[in-house]
Amino acid sequence: MSEPTRDDIDALVGPATPHFAYQLAARLRELIGELPPDHATRRYGEEQIELLDRLGYASSKAEYTARDPRSRPGWEEIPSSAPADSPLPGNR
């Protein structure tokens, strides 16, 4: 296999959902596993693995959309409304 690229990593992480975050992180670890520790692609991959870990405790990546205000009617009834950049407390 050729050396992995940032595009390869983005192809794995781009469609990630909380449900599959840890499976994708495992595939990503395999993808970058043979790269040297100081390799730029490996460092990028490790950053994305951290994102996937946060996503595993969240309900959305919420990267490109505006967040619903917590004052929205029914908010307290949403079981998990935590985005990846702010996962649920106690789960980290």
| pLDDT tens-digit profile, the chain (92 residues) | 689 999 999 999 998 888 899 999 999 999 999 999 999 999 999 999 999 988 887 766 666 666 667 777 776 666 556 677 777 665 44
Q: Encode burial over 9-31: b for 16+ CB neighbours within 10 A, e otherwise.
A: beebbeebebeebeebbeebeeb
The DSSP result for 2-48, as a single string, is PPP-HHHHHHHHTT--GGGHHHHHHHHHHHHTTS-TT-HHHHHHHHH
**Rounded to an integer, what distance in angstroms lies between the CA atom of residue 25 and that of residue 84?**
14
The answer to whether 30 touches 23, Cβ cutoff 8 Å, is: no
pLDDT of residue 75: 66
**pTM of structure:** 0.69
Could you state, in order of their start, the residue ranges of all structural domains in the chain? 6-61
